[in-house]
Amino acid sequence: MTDLETAERRIGELHSLIRYHSHRYYQLDDPEITDAEYDRLMLELLDLEERFPGLASPDSPTRRVGAAPLEKFSAVRHPTPMLSLANAFNVEDILDYHERIRRLLGGESAIRFVVEPKVDGVAVNLVYENGILAVGATRGDGAVGEEVTQNLKTIRSIPLRIGPPPDDEREETATTPHPERMEVRGEVFIDTESFRNLNRRRLAAGQPAFANPRNAAAGSLRQLNPKETAKRPLDIFCYALGEVRGASFRSHWEALQSLSRWGFPINPHIRRAESIRDCIDYYHSMAGDRSALPYEIDGIVIKVDALSLQSELGSVSRSPRWAIACKFPATQETTVIEDIVVQVGRTGVLTPVAVMRPVRIAGVIVSRATLHNQDEIDRKDIRIGDTVMVQRAGDVIPEVVKVVVSRRTGQEKTFAFPESCPECGSKVVRLEGEAAHRCIGLACPAKIRECIKHFASRGGMDIEGLGDRLVSRLVETGHIKDPADLYGLQAEHLFRLERMAEKSAGNLLQAIERSKNPPLEKFLFALGIRHVGERTSGILARTFQTLDRIMAATADDLVGIRDIGPEVAASIVKFFQEPSNRSVIEKLRSAGIAIREPETLQEQPLPLSGKSFVLTGKLNGMTRNEAQRILASLGGSCLDSVTKGTDFVIAGESPGSKLRKAREAGITILDEKGFLELIGRK
């Protein structure tokens, strides 16, 4: 077979593969391969068509942008095509792109750019007639999209009517009233916190969780009933103009500034870049900061700023020459599940963990991922031997997104939870109404280990030097059976352990001694009461003032406290009614634990009592948990979302949609400096 025949056959295969995966991605919102794998297929096809131009057919996927719209929505033709972007995958690709456009511009060296994060959402086109939103559509195949105007109108950040811009002293922008007709391009997305809350609500209602925020946004836009779309936490960033009648601009940056003044949300991280080196610096900066952003991005976009140069560069069949998308290393890859093992936690919950063929995701080797519980395994139909799509949620936690069913061989094995605990052999039960399987063994070493780790953690008793390995050895040798046993440890117990030096033993015993005078809220957290985290521990401590009062509280007493619901109240009552738990608390007191109780609120009112706060963005001077602890110590409460009852929003770097919601609601906004002044840390 000749090279030409081989290329022709492979091009045909690639056409079929790309069309199939485009259909699953754009129409079904159910991809079988990662973005990185799709990009590799497209790059291979582009390379073959470049080497064998006679084989590049007019209907090649490289000539198209997406897929045809679904039939359930009416089709609408975009006034100007919504082209996709060519991709760059590293700095060398960016430099090659720069050299190409310089050549096309006759060696022009002074090219200014605009750079922005590439938000992972759904591209839409908004058409305004005389300042009123007339038509909204998805991108579809770039020429024709799906008409979803009523659904887009439910997104509060999209202006339904554009008023005249406010007075502006700058001559270049003072005379830019909104055009008679214009297309506004934007990316609809769901921020990560809202996505997690949405999935929690869906799971609680017995509905399947969305795989990722992009799928959730796409599915929400394609609801036939706009009232359902209105329930979804959709947001938008607008990034460009298409057709414009009745106004003109000299640069892309100028157009963005006008969009912002007309009320369109523009990504706050968009920047002007004076050179390609500035673009590369921005690429590295956003790659490093992406995990701190409140929404998902998969790269940056570089655009030539001057519209005259954009016009001169023009477009190829599927993408403009004046812009390029620069992708970050893939955060999703495929691998194989080689086994599923079970881990036992401090409350006895058995958690299935996928042991996977190691794969590099966003620069980190991933080989294990939690599968949560049997319901999750059944919902995703995960089997040992499956090829699966894996991602690092928030670029941190490995997660199995879905099974690539098309790669099954028939040799895969289903997983079943063990009937007895793999650590102690006790019976494993699944209580009615619970997703978790639990070990009921009171002396299970795994439960003891995890309980001790939690007790000694920074949020609890904060015992420095008591690491995971040491805890395991102390439990295995029988020196520790509950947290109170820590306070009976002697130097000779530690010297008998392998690799325990005299200095290390002395440091550990000193740390244990220092932990004997904990604040009430830290002691409560250390006990490991189910559903009681650091925030709830602080609320209990401030409300009841003493441990004995908390231990005597009834469910009715607890439910009457703000932010404590029936489930949490029942868990607290059950914990303190358990004789073995009360016994451990008495042992701790006998060992010399002297709990520091908060000062009576009536005697010394806390400065932030009754005030509620919402944190958004990244603080430079402290972590979010530290900020929440400080606010709690001053009487304030931290909320997850902005409501009418929110008193303050603290905005750090890269704030999310909460900041915009706070502005709309007229809520007081503090920057980091203002926050530090409020808490007395000028």
CATH 3.40.50.10190 in the chain: give the residue spans: 612-678
- Whether residue 329 contacts residue 363, with contact meaning beta carbons closer than 8 Å, is answered with yes
- Read off the pLDDT of each residue in 268-279 and give the average, rounded to a whole number: 95
pLDDT score of 174 more than 50? no
pLDDT digits (tens, 9 = 90+) for 112-136: 999 999 999 999 999 999 999 999 9
Q: 56-65, 343-352, 534-543, 634-643: which range is least confident on average?
A: 56-65
Best CA proximity match to 163, nearest among 133, 138, 119, 202: 133
The span from the CA of 316 to the CA of 241, in Å, is: 19
Write down the CATH number for the domain with range 612-678: 3.40.50.10190
Write down the CATH number for the domain with range 3-63: 1.10.287.610
pLDDT score of 301 more than 60? yes
Element (H, E) at 141: none
Structure tokens at 232: 């979804």
**The predicted structure's pLDDT at residue 285:** 92
Read off the pLDDT band of 605 (50, 70, 90): low
**The predicted structure's pLDDT at residue 232:** 93
CA distances from 228 to 59, 150, 151, 191 (A): 37, 11, 9, 18
CATH topology of domain 332-438: OB fold (Dihydrolipoamide Acetyltransferase, E2P) (2.40.50)
The three-point CA angle 578-581-586 to 5° equals 125
- Whether residue 324 contacts residue 302, with contact meaning beta carbons closer than 8 Å, is answered with yes
Q: Could you please report the per-residue DSSP string of 68-103?
A: PPPTTS-EEE-SS------EE-SHHHHHHHHHHHHH
Best CA proximity match to 119, nearest among 361, 332, 300: 300
pLDDT digits (tens, 9 = 90+) for 201-217: 888 888 888 878 998 99
Read off the pLDDT band of 176 (50, 70, 90): low
The span from the CA of 398 to the CA of 587, in Å, is: 39
pLDDT score of 556 more than 50? yes
* Average pLDDT over the chain, rounded to an integer: 86
The span from the CA of 359 to the CA of 368, in Å, is: 10
CATH 1.10.287.610 in the chain: give the residue spans: 3-63
- Class of the domain covering 445-590: mainly alpha
Catalytic residue IDs = 118
Best CA proximity match to 253, nearest among 207, 298, 310: 310
pLDDT score of 26 more than 60? no
The span from the CA of 131 to the CA of 182, in Å, is: 9
- Class of the domain covering 75-327: alpha beta
**The predicted structure's pLDDT at residue 648:** 92
CATH 3.30.470.30 in the chain: give the residue spans: 75-327
- Whether residue 157 contacts residue 265, with contact meaning beta carbons closer than 8 Å, is answered with yes
pLDDT digits (tens, 9 = 90+) for 333-372: 899 999 999 999 888 899 999 999 999 886 678 899 999 9
The span from the CA of 456 to the CA of 462, in Å, is: 5
pLDDT score of 645 more than 80? no
pLDDT score of 505 more than 80? yes
Q: Going by DSSP bridges, is the β-strand pair 132-138/122-129 parallel, antiparallel, or unpaired?
A: antiparallel
Angle between helices 91-104 and 276-289 (to 10 degrees): 150
Of all residues in the chain, what percent carry a pLDDT higher than 70? 92
DSSP 8-state code for residue 653: B
Read off the pLDDT band of 557 (50, 70, 90): confident
Q: Could you please report the per-residue DSSP string of 269-293?
A: T-EEESSHHHHHHHHHHHHHHGGGS
Q: Tokens 């790269």 — which residue?
A: 299
Best CA proximity match to 347, nearest among 415, 419, 434: 434
